[in-house]
Chain A
Amino acid sequence: MPALPATVRARPLPGVRLLTVAVGLLALIVALSVYNLASGETTATWSQVTRALFDAEAARTQDPTLTLFIRDLRLPRILAAVIGGASLGVAGVILQDSLRNPLADPGLLGLLQVASFVVAVAAIYPEVLVGIPLNVLILAAQVVAGIIVLSVVGRIRGPVRIVLIGAALTAFFATMSTLVILLAPFQRTTGITAFNRYVIGSLAAITWGDVTSMAPWLVVAVPLALLGGRALNLLQLGDEMALAGGLNPQRARIALLVLAMALTAPVVANVGPVAFIALLAPHVARGLLTSSEARRVMVVSSLLGAFFLLAADTLGRLLFFPFEVPAGVWTVLLIGPMAIWLVGRRRTAAVTA
């Protein structure tokens, strides 16, 4: 009897490999977080950190500034990095599997540029917001862009078409952002500075408010994504196979894409368009797991995403201390080339599938 492809064969979900990888990554994230909590403007000892975290009253009276640093500056920043990275990691898996495309990344599909455009308009003409949260506005813009993509793609036959559409959307919305910036009245140039912060993701100005506005999206979207794991596994096999497996491929794809956008929108709104994490994390996760089973890949990819963003922010914050380099710079300079190398190494068959 011929062996079934790995994705079809039934395997117990919590594999040993998954557990090892996940625990290892978690340990890395925790270690990096602790290091992050302790270092910076004033370096803290282990006991100071634990006290600041778990015994706020005592810490406040003994060492008010350090406690403030740890609790209100460093902690939300770490949490935002973890939440943002994890969201991007999951979104990447959803996009790549549902579109059957190794390059399906919010940045390369033009979704980040749409978001940037919205942010540019909102930063320079704040009155257009009329009380709508930026998250929601970005999500709406992304959904519109996603509908454009899907409506022109038609059925997913090969990876090229969608990539070309993404390139065109990217060029178009980048140009539109330019137009908005060039036409900005002089008295509104503070808006441009605000926009620039969004062009490349940065965690420098994160507050607890940002964390609380990001967290609910992740909490709701990740379980939904895991529920969609079966659909993703079927979509990986192609639309015909998905149909044979009892799935309406187009409907499932739309639902999954909206989910992916719901995961990226809050990140873009609060941290900025962090590039390439959503592209690289799933590829690395599949490599570590030697499997492309969507749920497992999502778990590992979210941890990897969190680790990447946290590492990028740590580098940005502490490498040239006291000069701060936005986290987005490191994701572009380090993760971008890694993605080129990793995707380029795949053989044609693997890229096409």
Chain B
Amino acid sequence: MTATATPTAAAPSATAAPAPRRRPGRAYAVAASSLVGLVVLSVWWGTGSVMLTPAAAWRALVDPDDAERIEVIATNARLARVVMAIGVGAALGASGALLQALYQNALASPSITGVTQGAVAAAVVWLTFGGASSLDEATWIVPLVATAGGFGAGLLTYIAARLGGRTDPLRLILMGVLVGGVLASITAVTILASGDLGQELIRWTTGSLTGTTWTKVRLLYTGLALLTPLVIISLPLANVLALGDNLAQGLGQRVEWARGVVLFTSAGLVAAAVSFVGGIAFVGLVAPHLTRRATGADLRRHLPAAALVGAGMVAAADFVARNVVPIDVLRWLGVENPQVLASAVPAGIFLALLGAPYFVIILRRTRT
């Protein structure tokens, strides 16, 4: 097995790293990340340009006197987006933590299970061939379809990995990447056939919180609430799986069954998140990685911290996407309606811009 920086718990104390050294950092990380999340939240909510969304701008045009209504609309849209970002980020961070334990590999992430690509592919296919004329039209059907697609892809990965006998982390990773690649190609093919909807779909595949409504937020949190018991069940299972198959078996765990449960749970989390905002990448990879040092690899401590940091990351990225894209730069690029576009740049772009270099850095560090 390529033990690329397995979770620290897996490594026996051969390196003689003193465990207590981590203790002060733990509380710090949790506090700091929640602080970051809160700061972002308040800053975002407080930043006071009125014409934030195209919808609000339109209302302002129709009824220029009703300042209060504009305020309410703007607030509502903004708040819904923050709450959505937090839910999505938490789900992705948590599933990343579970998956890194499951795969015994600190470089694993939700996108290598194929689940992200499955959810995106299902939603894109549905929107293209289901006759919808815009993403907002089918509020609750799209998330359901996407979730089903995500689960389908996770199942396909599991079955494909089992074709050659039993699953093991290596096979799961390889098959997940392959399944994900095929599904991503299907998405690309479908977008090609989607005509006018194409631009909107392309934005969605990168992960965008534009068009968030309270209905969607409610749906997401319902889904997350349903998944919480599963996550709690998965925590001890994944903790043992992270020790490696032999040790897990020796400890009396039904390895295949446990792996199925953990995979199902993390697939559910990813599918729930992706189905509302599209294919946001790198959160599930970076958030658990950032927090592992502070909390240790015990998922009971690690997973909440990863969820918290993930939430902060997505909220921050969306904040940046929304407020910090310099309109002058867009104008210079020759973009028409830079105001509208600036509010619609997908948050996923900023996560990728920061996430990819970070990934390269941790890759170099984890060279064994």
Contact among A166, A192, A348 for B177, CB-based, below 8 A: A166
A168-B356, A175-B349, A351-B170 known; A344-B175 Cβ under 8 A:
yes
- A161 in contact with B175 (CB, 8 Å): no
A108-B181, A172-B352 known; A160-B206 Cβ under 8 A:
no
- A164 in contact with B108 (CB, 8 Å): yes
Q: Which residues of B contact A352 (CB under 8 A)?
A: 170
Which of A132-162 touch B at CB < 8 Å?
Answer: 148, 152, 154, 157-161
Closest to A338 in B: B182
A103 to B161, CA, bound (A): 14
- B282 in contact with A159 (CB, 8 Å): no
The 0/1 profile, CB within 8 Å of A marked 1, for residues 309-325 of chain B is 00000000000000000
From A9-17, A27-35, A177-185, A286-294, the one touching the partner chain is A177-185
Contact among B4, B205, B330, B360 for A161, CB-based, below 8 A: B4
Closest to A335 in B: B182
Contact among B160, B282, B336 for A340, CB-based, below 8 A: B160
Interface of B: prevailing SS: helix
Closest to A101 in B: B174
Contact among B107, B191, B359 for A199, CB-based, below 8 A: B191
A159-B170, A178-B203, A351-B164 known; A107-B181 Cβ under 8 A:
yes
- A343 in contact with B185 (CB, 8 Å): no
The 0/1 profile, CB within 8 Å of B marked 1, for residues 298-342 of chain A is 000000000000000000000000000010110011001101110
A103 to B112, CA, bound (A): 13
Please tell me if B363 contacts chain A, counting CB pairs below 8 Å: yes
A106 to B181, CA, bound (A): 11
Q: Which residues of B contact A178 (CB under 8 A)?
A: 202-203, 205-206, 346, 349
- A152 in contact with B363 (CB, 8 Å): yes
Q: Which residues of A contact B336 (CB under 8 A)?
A: 185-186
A108 to B177, CA, bound (A): 8
Contact among B165, B179, B188, B282 for A347, CB-based, below 8 A: B165
- B335 in contact with A183 (CB, 8 Å): yes
Contact among B109, B164, B345 for A348, CB-based, below 8 A: B164
User: What is the minimal beta-carbon distance from B337 to any residue of chain A, in angstroms?
Assistant: 9
A163-B174, A183-B341, A200-B189 known; A168-B359 Cβ under 8 A:
yes
Closest to B2 in A: A158
The 0/1 profile, CB within 8 Å of A marked 1, for residues 143-167 of chain B is 0000000000000100111011100
Please tell me if B105 contacts chain A, counting CB pairs below 8 Å: yes
A182 to B204, CA, bound (A): 11
- B349 in contact with A200 (CB, 8 Å): no
A160 to B173, CA, bound (A): 7
Which of B185-206 touch A at CB < 8 Å?
Answer: 185-186, 188-189, 191-192, 198-199, 202-203, 205-206
In this complex, the interface size class of chain B, counting residues with CB under 8 Å from chain A, is: 35 or more
The 0/1 profile, CB within 8 Å of B marked 1, for residues 94-132 of chain A is 000000001101011000000000000000000000000
A108 to B183, CA, bound (A): 12
- B202 in contact with A181 (CB, 8 Å): yes
A119 to B84, CA, bound (A): 34
- B281 in contact with A171 (CB, 8 Å): yes
Contact among A107, A161, A341, A344 for B185, CB-based, below 8 A: A107
Which of B224-267 touch A at CB < 8 Å?
Answer: none
A275-B185, A340-B175 known; A160-B346 Cβ under 8 A:
no
A275 to B159, CA, bound (A): 22
User: What is the minimal beta-carbon distance from B158 to any residue of chain A, in angstroms?
Assistant: 10
A157 to B105, CA, bound (A): 14
Closest to B103 in A: A160
Please tell me if A346 contacts chain B, counting CB pairs below 8 Å: yes
A167-B111, A340-B179 known; A332-B185 Cβ under 8 A:
yes
Please tell me if A165 contacts chain B, counting CB pairs below 8 Å: yes
Contact among B156, B178, B335, B359 for A343, CB-based, below 8 A: B178
A127 to B72, CA, bound (A): 46
Known: A108-B181, A160-B105, A196-B198. 5 other contacts (CB 8 A): A159-B2, A175-B353, A182-B344, A328-B189, A351-B164
Chosen A-B contacts, 27 in total, with CB atoms closer than 8 Å, are: A102-B174, A159-B2, A160-B107, A160-B170, A164-B112, A164-B363, A166-B177, A167-B180, A178-B205, A182-B203, A183-B330, A183-B333, A185-B333, A186-B336, A192-B199, A276-B181, A328-B189, A332-B186, A337-B182, A340-B178, A340-B182, A343-B160, A343-B174, A344-B161, A348-B164, A348-B165, A348-B168
8 tightest A-B CB contacts, nearest first? A158-B2, A336-B182, A185-B334, A344-B160, A344-B163, A175-B352, A172-B356, A332-B185
B-contacting residues of A (Cβ < 8 Å)? 102-103, 105, 107-108, 148, 152, 154, 157-161, 163-172, 174-176, 178-179, 181-183, 185-188, 192, 196, 199-200, 275-276, 326, 328-329, 332-333, 336-337, 339-341, 343-348, 350-352
A-contacting residues of B (Cβ < 8 Å)? 1-2, 4, 105, 107-109, 111-112, 156, 159-161, 163-165, 168, 170-171, 173-175, 177-182, 184-186, 188-189, 191-192, 198-199, 202-203, 205-206, 281-282, 285, 330, 333-336, 341, 344-346, 348-349, 352-353, 355-356, 359-360, 363-364, 367-368
